[in-house]
Amino acid sequence: MSALLETRGLVAHYGDFQALFGIDADVHEGERVALIGSNGAGKSTFLTSIAGMRRSAKESIVFDGAPIGALDAADVAALGIALVPEGRRLFPSLSVEENLAMGAFNRRKGPWNLENVYSLFPALREKRRAPATSLSGGQQQMVAIGRALMANPRLLMCDEISLGLSPAVVKEVYAALGVVCSEHGVSAIVVEQDIELARTMSDRAYCFTHGFVSLSGTSTDLTREAISAAYFGV
Ligand SMILES: Nc1ncnc2c1ncn2[C@@H]1O[C@H](COP(=O)(O)OP(=O)(O)OP(=O)(O)O)[C@@H](O)[C@H]1O
Ligand SMILES: [Mg+2]
């Protein structure tokens, strides 16, 4: 089975500084892939490169068989790749529903609409008229995920969605993500610093160390010890 997303030798630079050194990674249809690694390992850079927020060599990112490395962010989004960015980036002056509606701008055809997002995250339905920033951190994260889903992505990329949330809310958010992938066939890449969480919520995981893939495998095969070793580069 060919992958929905492939990166081959993907590199990224910030000026003279090289952040990614030839990343080879795959994501298959409906698969949940975790990205693990310490601060500065290049996880966010990997996601923003795929999202077209920085240009890459054309052939180094292939989506559904087509090279997309040279496309800009709007063209990448139109193909069905959505990013839930680090720190959520909600529109503070807009209500929950207006924030969700922003995600539907230039949306692809597909099943996601306000009703489905509210079914996935019932807490948001009650708060639909409230300013997004008046919500709890967990609910704001649900808005950010819902907004990304409104575009009807085939690949949903989430950057540290569990950061600062209580264990119960983290569980709820990842359960919802599981439903999105298993019932709707969406693929996901999730950056998650918590190793145990990353293992339990994913089918496969990649560990990044200083811009390299230091370990990869199916989440049931990767032991906590192996990930810890790769994580800390020991
Ligand atoms: N705008 C930028 N300008 C210069 N260097 C940057 C910039 N953004 C990131 N970097 C550097 O690139 C490297 C990778 O950063 P990146 O944000 O991708 O890491 P990360 O794995 O997401 O880290 P974190 O866990 O802290 O979010 C780091 O060394 C970082 O300092
Ligand atoms: Mg990051």
pLDDT of the residue at 56:
97
Ligand 1 atom with the shortest distance to the CA of 44: 22
Contacts (Cβ under 8 Å, ≥6 apart) of 164:
137
Q: Helices 137-149 and 167-184 meet at what angle, rounded to 10?
A: 10
pLDDT of the residue at 233:
63
Record the tokens describing residue 80, joined without a space: 């069905």
pLDDT of the residue at 216:
95
pLDDT of the residue at 225:
86
User: Which ligand is closest in space to the CA of residue 45?
Assistant: 1
Say which residue the tokens 């300013």 belong to: 131
Record the tokens describing residue 223, joined without a space: 């032991």
Ligand 1 neighbourhood includes 19 CB (under 6 angstroms): yes
What's the rounded Cα separation, in Å, for the pair 202 and 71?
28
pLDDT of the residue at 234:
56
Mutate to test the pocket of ligand 1, among 43, 56, 83, 84 (most ligand atoms within 8 A of CB): 43
CB-CB contact of 156 with 183 (8 Å)? no
- The single-letter DSSP state of residue 107 is P
Q: Which of 112, 110, 114, 111 is nearest to 124 (CA)?
A: 114
Banded pLDDT at 86 (limits 50, 70, 90): confident
Q: Which of 147, 164, 172, 231 is nearest to 196 (CA)?
A: 231
CB-CB contact of 187 with 30 (8 Å)? yes
Contacts (Cβ under 8 Å, ≥6 apart) of 14:
none
Cα-based distances in Å from 33 to 22, 74, 199, 214: 18, 23, 9, 15
Record the tokens describing residue 50, joined without a space: 């795929």
Ligand 1 neighbourhood includes 129 CB (under 6 angstroms): no
User: Any idea which of 84-88, 167-171, 217-221 has the lowest mean pLDDT?
Assistant: 84-88
Residue 231 has pLDDT above 80, yes or no: no
By percentage, how much of the chain surpasses pLDDT 90? Answer: 79
Ligand 1 neighbourhood includes 149 CB (under 6 angstroms): no
CA of residue 204 relative to chain centroid, distance: 14
By percentage, how much of the chain surpasses pLDDT 70? Answer: 99
pLDDT of the residue at 84:
94
Coil, strand or helix at 227: helix
What's the rounded Cα separation, in Å, for the pair 60 and 231?
25
pLDDT, tens only, 123-139: 999 999 999 999 999 99
Ligand 1 neighbourhood includes 40 CB (under 6 angstroms): yes
Q: How far is the CA of 232 from the centre of ligand 2 (A)?
A: 16
Mutate to test the pocket of ligand 1, among 16, 44, 49, 214 (most ligand atoms within 8 A of CB): 44
What pTM does this model have? Answer: 0.95
List the beta bridge partners of residue 5. 27, 63
Residue 5 has pLDDT above 90, yes or no: yes
Ligand 1 neighbourhood includes 43 CB (under 6 angstroms): yes
